[in-house]
């Protein structure tokens, strides 16, 4: 399982999802809703429904769910019987509290690309 906003979908997102899939036999991706992103101070360019549709159509993704809050991760892990939680290494240490529920793996981000950087270039 992994979580993300996946705004302005780019090669870094694709690599993250493909790498995440290698840690299990299925990959569930929680996509942050527009409302949840606003609570994080993020304004998305691509609407939630469209971001979900994009992520659903990636070969390595088996299921997409909505991320509504920071607090849902433990419940998601239990409800979907998740064995491994995968997230970019820019979050290293932030999700260690999940280690009592599943394996937590921080993987390297793709250098040189991020949605934030793309948004800055567009301004």
Kindly name the residue from 15, 42, 99, 120 that is annotated as catalytic: 42
What pLDDT shows up at residue 117?
Answer: 57
What pLDDT shows up at residue 109?
Answer: 85
| Rounded average pLDDT over 110-120 | 61
Q: How far is CA 37 from the centre of its chain?
A: 12
* Domains (range + CATH), the chain: 2-122 (3.40.50.620)
What pLDDT shows up at residue 110?
Answer: 76
- Annotation says 40 is catalytic: yes
Order of strands across the sheet that contains 2-4: 2-4, 28-32, 63-67
| Rounded average pLDDT over 44-72 | 97
The mean pLDDT value of the chain amounts to 92
- Annotation says 56 is catalytic: no
For 89-105, the pLDDT digits (tens) are 989 999 999 999 999 99
| Rounded average pLDDT over 37-45 | 92
Kindly name the residue from 15, 21, 40, 94 that is annotated as catalytic: 40
Q: Which of 1-10, 48-57, 69-78, 109-118 shows the lowest per-residue confidence on average (mean pLDDT)?
A: 109-118
């Amino acid at each position: 399982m992994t979580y993300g906003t996946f705004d302005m979908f780019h090669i870094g997102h694709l690599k993250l999802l493909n790498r995440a899939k290698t840690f299990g036999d299925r990959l569930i991706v929680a996509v942050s809703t527009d409302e949840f992103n606003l609570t994080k101070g993020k304004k998305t360019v691509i609407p939630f429904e469209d971001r979900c549709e994009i992520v659903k159509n990636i070969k390595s993704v088996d299921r997409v769910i909505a991320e509504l809050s920071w607090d849902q991760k433990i419940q998601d892990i239990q409800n979907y019987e998740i064995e491994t939680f995968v997230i970019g290494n820019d979050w290293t240490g932030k999700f260690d509290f999940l280690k009592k529920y599943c394996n937590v793996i921080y993987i390297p981000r793709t250098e040189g690309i991020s949605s934030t950087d793309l948004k800055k270039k567009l301004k």
